[in-house]
Amino acid sequence: MKLEVVRPGFATTVQDLGRPGHAALGVGRSGAADRESFRLANRLVGNPAGAAALEVTLGGLVLRATGVTTLAVTGASCPLSKGGPNGPITLWPGEELALGTAVSGLRCYVAVRGGIDVPPVLGSRATDTLGKLGPPPVAAGMLLPIGPAPRAFPVVDLAPRAAWPAEPVLRVTPGPRRDWFTAPDELLSTVYTVSPDSDRVGIRLTGPALARARHDELPSEACVPGSLQVPPSGRPILFHADHPTTGGYPVIAVVEEADLDLAAQLRPGQTVRFRAAQDFPPAS
């Protein structure tokens, strides 16, 4: 069976849990930005947690079934043409499922029973938008292959979730270049705004600039998802699923892995704060 893409929405990609373990080759982890919502979508249709699904930015996706198909939609809150979020939805042959524009959160996840069965690259079906690995972004007219249905049946028919906070607070630990800033603790006392110039690579933040104490040349360094890099503008960039190396700019702090799912749902124009996940050493 296949799913026909009638309309791809604002931006839709195929994602799974990514391709970890290839950093030495310059290949990032990629995969679903909000991993908790992704896993829940798969659980609702009886798939293994890592089965490939669709990540939909802001909604707008329209799918048409070619056979009897079970799906689930999780993540950002958006109106659906059939069924509801966080529960299984059955489509009959020729029937469509349309996702409206998200009203809360940024990314929706659409899992289909059997998973999206595109060819894996380096062991993953994830689309890496920076490295250009995996399947291309979803486009109108695509027929997405569906894998064999798993033997297990869904054991949950509804999984309500709390609304996304209006002003999220992300926990951070000190970064390797914290001492490169004159007042690094200003990161914890500033309210930042999410820039429209944000994507799966990084979340750009606007607000007061962080002043540098050192202006040395810094070789490009490896980093992890959640790294808060500070470019010459002094305004942090939160590296996310498809992040690169640092590009020679210092990393002042790192967002806790457990808070990256929440970071993935930050919308342009939304405010965000950071707080220490542990006691920070005093600034030198």
Nearest to 246 by CA among 264, 262, 260, 230: 230
Nearest to 244 by CA among 31, 23, 33, 34: 23
Nearest to 193 by CA among 180, 209, 207: 207
Residues 6 or more apart in contact with residue 88 via CB below 8 angstroms = 44, 45, 70, 71, 72, 154, 157
Report pLDDT for 176: 93
12 contacts 69 by C-beta, under 8 angstroms = no
What value, to the nearest 5°, has the Cα angle with vertex 249 and ends 248 and 255? 125
72 contacts 87 by C-beta, under 8 angstroms = yes
Report pLDDT for 26: 76
| Four-residue CA torsion sign, 46, 58, 98, 79 | positive
Report pLDDT for 283: 63
Report pLDDT for 248: 87
Report pLDDT for 220: 85
pLDDT along the chain (284 residues), means of 10: 96 96 82 97 96 98 97 97 96 98 97 98 96 96 97 84 91 95 96 97 97 89 92 96 89 97 97 90 64
Report pLDDT for 284: 57
Q: Kindly report the pTM of this predicted structure.
A: 0.94
Report pLDDT for 279: 72
Report pLDDT for 128: 96
78 contacts 27 by C-beta, under 8 angstroms = no
Report pLDDT for 9: 96
Nearest to 255 by CA among 220, 225, 222: 225
